[in-house]
Structure 1
Amino acid sequence: MPHAATRAGLFLALAVSALFLAGPATAQPPAVQTPDREVTAQARDIVEWYEAVGTIRPKTETTVESQVQAKILDVKVRPGQTVDKGELLVVLDDRELAARAERANQAVSSARASRNQAREAIASAKAAFDNAQADNRRIKTLFASRTVTAQEMDRSEAEFLRAQSALEQARDGFEAAEGQAAQAEKALEEATIAAGHARIHAQAAGEVVARQAEPGDLALPGKPLLILHTGRALLLEALVREGLISRVKLGDAFPVRVAALAVPGAAPELAGGPDANGSGGLSAVVEEIVPTADPLTRTFLVKAALPETPGLYPGMFGRLFIPLGTRQAVVVPRNAVRRVGQIEMVTVKDGDRSGNYAVKTGQSLDGGYVEILSGLTGNETLLVPGRDR
């Protein structure tokens, strides 16, 4: 057994060395606990709320579409990118459009040449008409003095009528040529505008939220290519049941709760008031009430303007709170209620004694209070447990 004794001694020596090297143990200061705080359950009037659920949407949204049919060569932007007014967004294949504009330009040149020829024809016909008219007047004078024969008089009259008809035809030809020239110039203007539509620019500054076309796709009139939010203003579009729409008026301001704006680490609430989940403080002003109820849901669409808020984006879920009236309830500070499993408990102090009682909470209220639906009647003294520090 000597080997076993040697090993035991070696282990003991190593343990003593480790303790020696570690030095004296550092003593941790004892935790200091703050004393329990006394609060009073209060009976007071609280507001009852109706929650109108809805969606955050942009106040102004622009759909970028093509005005012409052409192949897409390039899309310059992507979702999340901000653009300035006049910035190039989409480039289309303009070869066919340019060829159409060139043909229209040639048609304009041809129509203008025809109009010039018609104008010259009028001038020639007018000169011939003036000569025939002068000759006819002279023959009529001579015929009256019986110097010329009736045959010469008839020939002069016929020449005058032919010259008059030729002048009228020349004038009609000029009007037709002028109309054709005007049509050709209009077609050239349209072709030029169409060619300009091959490069699509932003009509207003904004942010790209959707890209619905890629290079190689065919752009068609009415087919969305991009969706822009032109402006930072947001709306909450909420559905209000028909029995409460009379309580909503244009210009009214109502509390709003957006769950996505909850304060990190905040305790979730069982029942919601406007300030539940740490997202209170938002208020929306009613700007539009659609005056037709949805026949399926029996609700009206209400659009309320939201203030500019960091972290608030289109598409988020929100609630618009509409007051229904007031009622009396027992309220206590939220931190006076603790949860033990599925049971909510409070500590009630009665003289020198205290006891735990089960309660049921309702909606959260301003100032960190919560409604007590059952378990308390009001004026009880509660103990809020202290915390270690």
Structure 2
Amino acid sequence: MNNLIIIVLLSLLMVSCKDSGDIDIQRPLITGVTIAEINPTEVDVYYKTSGTVMAKTISEIASRVMGTVTSIEVKEGDRVAEGELLLTIDDRDIVHKVRAAEQGYKELSKALEAAKQNKHLLNLTYERYKSLYDEKALSEQEMDEIETKKKVADIEFERAQSALERGKATFREVQINLDFTRIKSPISGIVTEKNIEIGNTAVPGIPLLKVEDNSSFRLEVMVDEQLLEKLQVGMPANVYINALNRNVTGQISEIVPVIDPVTRTFLIKIDLNNEELLRTGLYAKALISYGKREAILVPEDAIVEKGQLDGVYTVDDEGIVNYRLIRAGTSFSGGVEVLSGLKEGDRIIVGGIQKVIDGGIFKNK
């Protein structure tokens, strides 16, 4: 009896399944949308890195003479022009040396003039003696004596010339040292650091002030060693300044081909296009294009978010529309890269998304 019941139920189930296969599913009709076929697109390959914005010209100013600082004309944040006085150093000792060197130079000038006159006199005397000697009016000994005096006068004149040159050099040297007591800015820019106070002793080689030219900046970043042969000076770079929430364009201006053995990276410098808000020390991210590759791109508006998932509406050969999950990647100027979920030749809806119904059928009017 039980076996009979099971056979009857199976028969009814088979009939039901056969009948249901003949049912024509009524799909919603979709019109007024735009469909595009997926084809690979050539895109730039980017390397992501980050670094610190720096002024292109930063001048650390130190004294070239030792002495006590007697005045400071600037403070941090002041704007200065090239050649503007920044600070002074006690110059009393050097002033005395300048005066002594100047007096010595004048004395040597007088000595040279005396040697010149003596040389001229002996040259005239020598010519007279030679005429007398040729006329047999002078002895050979007398001629030798005047000839010797002439040679000595020539030597004394040369010595006086050399002494004057040395005195001139000494005078110029102490004048230069005097100029070093008035420290001036080598560039136009902003004073960003002051490490000295009035009364402190300035020591040669120890930075006293720092001035940076804020008219041009660059980004210094470390790049993976694998890109050493792929990057070239002049290549463009896109830079994002976090603190300013601003994008800045730039170009690679310098590549330092020395690999850090610890990080396996090397330094590059990117000149940034003029931007008034840039400052030394700002953190920035850089995207550097170093090649091309093929990628599947879809318009950003074609991606539909459902919950936390991304997907697109695909259209098959029969016009049936289905929502397909995708994994989105990097955004490019031509759209968003699809890492998985689509392949070449697939058709997706790129316009009129609001009219799409999942499971509907597309009809081109």
8 Å CA contact 2:238, 2:250 repeated in 1: yes
1:327 to partner: Cα distance: 3.7
Question: Equivalent of 2:85, from 66, 88, 98?
Answer: 88
2:251 matches 1:285: yes
Q: How many angstroms apart in 1 are the aligned matches of 2:83 and 2:53?
A: 28
Q: How many residues align?
A: 305
2:284 matches 1:318: yes
The amino acid that maps onto 2:179 is G
Ranges in structure 1 where 5+ consecutive residues have no aligned partner: 1-41, 142-152, 263-278, 350-357, 383-389
8 Å CA contact 2:327, 2:341 repeated in 1: yes
2:87 matches 1:121: no
Please give the TM-score of this superposition, normalised by the length of structure 1: 0.64
2:157 matches 1:157: no
Question: Equivalent of 2:224, from 214, 222, 241?
Answer: 241
8 Å CA contact 1:74, 1:91 repeated in 2: yes
The amino acid that maps onto 1:179 is S
2:246 matches 1:295: no
The amino acid that maps onto 1:200 is I
Deviations 1:18-59 (A, max 9, x none): xxxxxxxxxxxxxxxxxxxxxxxx989787643122211112
8 Å CA contact 1:129, 1:167 repeated in 2: yes
Cα distance change, pair 160–63 in 1 and its aligned pair in 2 (3 A): same
Cα distance change, pair 125–89 in 1 and its aligned pair in 2 (3 A): same
Q: Secondary structure at the match of 2:252?
A: strand
Q: How many angstroms apart in 1 are the aligned matches of 2:249 and 2:219?
A: 10
The amino acid that maps onto 1:249 is Q
Q: How many angstroms apart in 1 are the aligned matches of 2:101 and 2:306?
A: 82
Question: Equivalent of 1:171, from 154, 169, 174?
Answer: 154
Deviations 1:259-278 (A, max 9, x none): 2123xxxxxxxxxxxxxxxx
Q: How many angstroms apart in 1 are the aligned matches of 2:134 and 2:312?
A: 130
Cα distance change, pair 73–337 in 1 and its aligned pair in 2 (3 A): farther
1:346 to partner: Cα distance: 8.0
Q: Which runs of 4+ in 1 moved over 3 A?
A: 42-49, 123-138, 323-333, 335-339, 344-349, 358-367, 369-382
The amino acid that maps onto 1:78 is K
The amino acid that maps onto 1:250 is V
Q: How many angstroms apart in 2 are the aligned matches of 1:131 and 1:374?
A: 112
Question: Equivalent of 2:215, from 232, 247, 251?
Answer: 232
Question: Equivalent of 2:171, from 188, 197, 200?
Answer: 188
Ranges in structure 2 where 5+ consecutive residues have no aligned partner: 1-36, 314-324, 355-365
Q: How many angstroms apart in 2 are the aligned matches of 1:87 and 1:240?
A: 39
The amino acid that maps onto 2:244 is L
1:80 to partner: Cα distance: 1.6
Question: Equivalent of 2:51, from 51, 54, 57?
Answer: 54
Question: Equivalent of 1:101, from 98, 103, 124?
Answer: 98
Q: How many angstroms apart in 2 are the aligned matches of 1:115 and 1:133?
A: 26
Cα distance change, pair 134–63 in 1 and its aligned pair in 2 (3 A): same
Please give the TM-score of this superposition, normalised by the length of structure 2: 0.68
Superposed counterparts of 1:1-389, under 5 Å: 49-138=46-135, 140=136, 156-262=139-245, 279=246, 281-323=247-289, 325=293, 327-328=295-296, 344=308
Q: Secondary structure at the match of 2:243?
A: helix
The amino acid that maps onto 2:63 is S
8 Å CA contact 2:69, 2:200 repeated in 1: yes
Q: How many angstroms apart in 1 are the aligned matches of 2:45 and 2:122?
A: 93
CA-atom RMSD, angstroms? Answer: 4.1
Q: How many angstroms apart in 1 are the aligned matches of 2:254 and 2:186?
A: 25
1:168 to partner: Cα distance: 1.0
1:76 to partner: Cα distance: 1.4
Q: How many angstroms apart in 2 are the aligned matches of 1:260 and 1:230?
A: 21
Cα distance change, pair 328–183 in 1 and its aligned pair in 2 (3 A): same
8 Å CA contact 2:295, 2:338 repeated in 1: no
Q: How many angstroms apart in 2 are the aligned matches of 1:161 and 1:185?
A: 36
Q: How many angstroms apart in 2 are the aligned matches of 1:63 and 1:312?
A: 20
Deviations 1:79-110 (A, max 9, x none): 22111233211211111221111111111122
